[in-house]
Structure 1
Amino acid sequence: MPDKPDAPLLSKQDFQKLSRFRYQLRCFLRQSEDICRQHGLTSLQYQLLLHLRGFEGREWATVGELAERLQSKHHAAVMLVDRCAQLELIERRTGRDDGRRIEIHLLPRGAQLAEKIATQHQPELQHLDQALDLPGLS
C-alpha cells in the first residue's frame, strides 16, 4: 500500500496561484504571438531579436548564449539564426577578440522590428505586472 502523506504538499491556494500565473503568462504569450505575426515574424524570431537587443554588456551574443536565453538546443538556435540572417535581420561576424568566435549582431531592420514589437508589448506587459502583482516586470 503506498504511503499517504498526512497533509497535501500543496494547498488549494497554491494551485490557484499557479493556475493564475500560468493563465496570465499564456495570455501574454498569445498576445505576443499575434503581435509578432502582424510584423511577419514568429515568436522565436522576435525573441532572438529581443535577446540580442537586450543582451547585457554588449550589442551581440554567441549562438550558445542565444540558445541558453531561448532555452533551446544549440542546433535549433543555429537554424533560427540562419533564418533571421536570410531575412536580413541579423548577421554573423567574426569575433574581434577571438577569431574563432562568431558574434551575432542585429542589423538595422532587425533593431527596428525589435523596437516596434517591444513597444507593442508594453500594455500587455503592464497588465501582466498588475495581474500578478510582481515587482519589476515592467
Structure 2
Amino acid sequence: MNNHLDKEVYESLAEFRYQLKKFLHFSDLEARKVGITPQQHQLLLAIKGYPGRDYVTPRELGERLFITHHACVGLIDRCEQQNLVTRKRNPNDGRSVLIYVTEKGEEFLEKLSEIHLNEIKRIHVFHDVFDL
C-alpha cells in the first residue's frame, strides 16, 4: 500500500498553512493596534462566538483557547480589570461563574471583526488554496 500524494497536494497544504500563519500574525498585530493583546481578542471572540449563547464558563473558555484553567482565569482577570468582560454568578450552579463581554469589550471585538472580515475577503485564503 504505497499511495503517494501528488506534489500539488503538498503545495496546497503548505500554502494553506502559510496563509493561516500569515492571517494569525495579521490578527495579532491588529489586536495590538487597537489596544488589546491577541489573547484578549481571542477570549472576546471565543465568548461572543460561543454556539447558542453570549456567555461561557471559564472551563469552556480554556477549552476553546487551548489553555489551562489557571491560565484562563488569569486572562479573565486581566480582561475584567480592563472592563472587557464581566463575571456573573451561574444561576444554575452557585459554585461557578459565567463570563460575558462588556459593552467596551464588544466595541473592541466589533472593530477587530470588521478588520478581520475585510482581510479574509482580501486574501481569499480558502478559495485560492483549495479552489473552493
Instruction: Flag whether TM exceeds 0.5 (same fold).
Output: yes
Partner of 1:35: 30
Percent identical residues: 37
Conserved 8 A contact 1:24-1:131: no
Structure 2: gaps (5+ residues)? none
Conserved 8 A contact 2:12-2:130: no
Alignment counterpart, residue 130 of structure 1, candidates 120, 127, 131: 127
Per-residue CA deviations over 1:74-95 (Å, capped at 9, x if unaligned) read: 1111111111111110011110
Greater per-residue strand proportion: 2
Secondary structure at the aligned position of 1:57 is classed as coil
* Structure 1 residue 12: Cα displacement: 2.6
* Structure 1 residue 11: Cα displacement: 4.1
Secondary structure at the aligned position of 2:94 is classed as coil
Partner of 1:14: 9
- When normalised by structure 2's length, the TM-score is 0.88
* Structure 1 residue 56: Cα displacement: 1.4
Structure 1: gaps (5+ residues)? 1-5
The change in CA–CA distance for 1:11 and 1:132 in structure 2 (over 3 A counts) is closer
Greater per-residue helix proportion: 2
Q: Which amino acid aligns with 2:118?
A: P
1:116 and 1:60 mapped to 2: Cα distance?
20
| Rg (Cα) greater in structure | 1
- When normalised by structure 1's length, the TM-score is 0.85
C-alpha RMSD of the superposition = 1.8
1:86 and 1:134 mapped to 2: Cα distance?
45
1:134 and 1:101 mapped to 2: Cα distance?
46
Per-residue CA deviations over 1:37-84 (Å, capped at 9, x if unaligned) read: 111111111010011111111111001101111111111111111111
